[in-house]
Amino acid sequence: NGSLKVYERLKNLVAEHGLLAEVDLVKDVSHEGIGVNISGCHGFCQLGPLVRFEPSGLLYCKVQPEDCAEIVETTIINNSVVERLLYQDPNSGEKVKTQDEIPFYKRQVRVTLKECGRINPDDINDYIAHDGYQAIAKILEGMKPEDVIKEVTDSGLRGRGGGGFPTGRKWSFAASQPGPKKYVICNGDEGDPGAFMDRSVMEGNPHSVLEGMMIAGFAIGADEGYIYARAEYPLAIKRMRKAIADAEALGLLGNRVLGSDFSFKIHIKEGAGAFVCGEETALIASIEGERGMPRPRPPFPAVKGLWGCPTIINNVETLANLPAIINNGANWFRSFGTPNSAGTKTFALAGQIQNTGLVEVPMGMTLREIVFDIGGGLREGKKYKSVQIGGPSGGCLTEDKLDLPLDYDELMKVGAMIGSGGLVVMGEDTCMVETAKFFMGFVQNESCGKCVPCREGTKQMLALLTKITEGKGTEEDLALLEELAQNVKDGSLCGLGKTAPNPVLTTLRYFRHEYVAHVRDKK
């Protein structure tokens, strides 16, 4: 969006006015001057580049390099506001000054995204100044691995990558395995269309992921970890590499962390963009240098994972929650969310919605609150039709499901899932059969081909959906599609195939009349 140009221009202008702080204000707040810093993503994608003032919280949107002279003159020198750069609420037309007052941010509770958009991700000192590496220090000062597992189990944290498996339980399986060698893998292979939560955390607060991996490593007795990140995320990989090097240089990572007996080494493995490599066993195969194809389970990776050793795989968002849980305690984490789904969850809001971007909300918030209060409702006065939740593994939900609390179990009951957190909002003129076809095309393309139900089934389902959308389908095709979807769900080897029919099954369940209209009206 040109943020770096804005940053350079603003910094140069502040320096030209003799106002630029000569020391790093993060490290030494006693000095005077204006610090100009970069940050990771603030979450409100469509309004970038954003410029925020600390400590006032004043926020300017869609800032261009040519606006910077006025910002310096008006705001920095004369302590006033450049009205035209303020956020304007599209519904009320009101201008809003500070970030916290903007409806998009107001209802959010930020745990994993708390420092994204605040700290400089390339500066380890900035992370340290915001309580960074406090959690691992606390652990090394006097906690035992079982204490850490208990704290995480008590917190109720569940895997944020899609499955929602309790994190503490997963760790206790790996911790109880014998053997000197164990691994921690950070799954950053976010491949869902429309999802960029993990990318944002890796780009915006990379040290929180490293610290999360160290906490996991200490808990299960691992001394080595891998970050598996998509090669399509070059900035995230660059920042993670720098974060590793900086943490090692300060003795916060590597041999004898903070002078303790705990050592932990982290490597980065770049994925080649295969969606299936987000599946745990395929990801392990890929790190081992094999073709990224899932393996039958059991044995589960916690028992026999990377190079045959006990391994836990947690996704980026799960790991980034850990420092806050250790610092603030399990009860604090449980104070957000629902009894069965504690904490917060990050969602990527996209589609025909006013406000697009990344939002982090307490679990249990309803879809209506996210779509209308945070997302501002639909664009151009369109009527709401559906929200596709959970990417290709998820489902499409109708208006009567808008008051459903977003939690792992409630969504399962209606045939959908939180997945990694993609939310695509659709208006009244969206064809739900085309939507199902889009997701089917995606999974068909990404099917690794190892097992017949997924390899052949998704291909035939896509062919049927194409036939129906071209106005050549029959009532028998609808019955066949439904039967096939159930067979692919029941017979596939891995999660990709097992969940691939979800968009078709939910649209058949909630929007059957649209399939029937295609078939009857031959359109």
Measured from the CB atom, is 341 or 444 closer to ligand SF4? 444
Return the residues of window 146-165 that contact ligand SF4 according to CB under 6 A: none
Measured from the CB atom, is 430 or 499 closer to ligand SF4? 499
Q: Which stretch binds ligand SF4 (CB under 6 A): 313-321, 365-373, 446-454, 471-479?
A: 446-454
- 145 CA to centre of own chain: 27
| Three-state DSSP class for residue 58 | strand
Token output for 131: 């309580």
294 binds ligand SF4 (CB under 6 A): yes
Rounded least distance, CB 461 to ligand SF4, Å = 12
Q: How far apart are CA 346 and CA 273, in angstroms?
A: 22
Return the residues of window 211-270 that contact ligand SF4 according to CB under 6 A: none
Rounded least distance, CB 479 to ligand SF4, Å = 23
Q: How far apart are CA 473 and CA 66, in angstroms?
A: 56
Nearest in space to 243 (alpha carbons), one of 272, 209, 215, 269: 209
Sign (positive/negative) of CA torsion 14, 20, 25, 31?
A: negative
Pick one of 227, 494, 504, 508: the residue that binds ligand SF4 (CB under 6 A).
494
Q: How far apart are CA 494 and CA 197, in angstroms?
A: 23
Rounded least distance, CB 281 to ligand SF4, Å = 9
Residues touching ligand SF4, count (CB under 6 A): 14
- 469 CA to centre of own chain: 32
Q: Which residue is nearest to ligand SF4 (CB)?
A: 497
* Range 74-82, long-range pairs (CB < 8 A, 24+ positions): 76/14, 76/17, 76/19, 76/34, 77/17
447 binds ligand SF4 (CB under 6 A): yes
Measured from the CB atom, is 103 or 294 closer to ligand SF4? 294
Q: How far apart are CA 368 and CA 337, in angstroms?
A: 16
Measured from the CB atom, is 149 or 454 closer to ligand SF4? 454
Q: Which stretch binds ligand SF4 (CB under 6 A): 44-52, 179-187, 308-316, 450-458?
A: 450-458
DSSP code at position 382 = P
| 185 within 8 A of 306, measured Cβ to Cβ | yes
Rounded least distance, CB 462 to ligand SF4, Å = 13
Pick one of 273, 339, 449, 471: the residue that binds ligand SF4 (CB under 6 A).
449
Token output for 206: 């990379």
Rounded least distance, CB 276 to ligand SF4, Å = 5
Looking at the chain, the number of H-run helices and the number of E-run strands are 21, 13
> For the chain, how many residues are written?
523
Pick one of 149, 253, 496, 504: the residue that binds ligand SF4 (CB under 6 A).
496
Q: Which stretch binds ligand SF4 (CB under 6 A): 195-203, 422-430, 433-441, 486-494?
A: 486-494
284 binds ligand SF4 (CB under 6 A): no
Pick one of 451, 461, 465, 485: the residue that binds ligand SF4 (CB under 6 A).
451
62 binds ligand SF4 (CB under 6 A): no
Give residues with Cβ within 8 angstroms of 321, minimum separation 6: 111, 112, 157, 160, 212, 333, 343
Q: Which stretch binds ligand SF4 (CB under 6 A): 37-45, 138-146, 419-427, 488-496?
A: 488-496
Q: How far apart are CA 354 and CA 111, in angstroms?
A: 24
454 binds ligand SF4 (CB under 6 A): yes
Pick one of 240, 371, 424, 448: the residue that binds ligand SF4 (CB under 6 A).
448
Measured from the CB atom, is 433 or 454 closer to ligand SF4? 454
Beta strands in 219-329 (DSSP E): 224-230, 265-271, 311-315
Rounded least distance, CB 204 to ligand SF4, Å = 31
Give residues with Cβ within 8 angstroms of 483, minimum separation 6: none
Pick one of 170, 269, 304, 450: the residue that binds ligand SF4 (CB under 6 A).
450
Write out the residues near ligand SF4 by the rule CB under 6 A.
276, 294, 447-451, 454-455, 492-494, 496-497
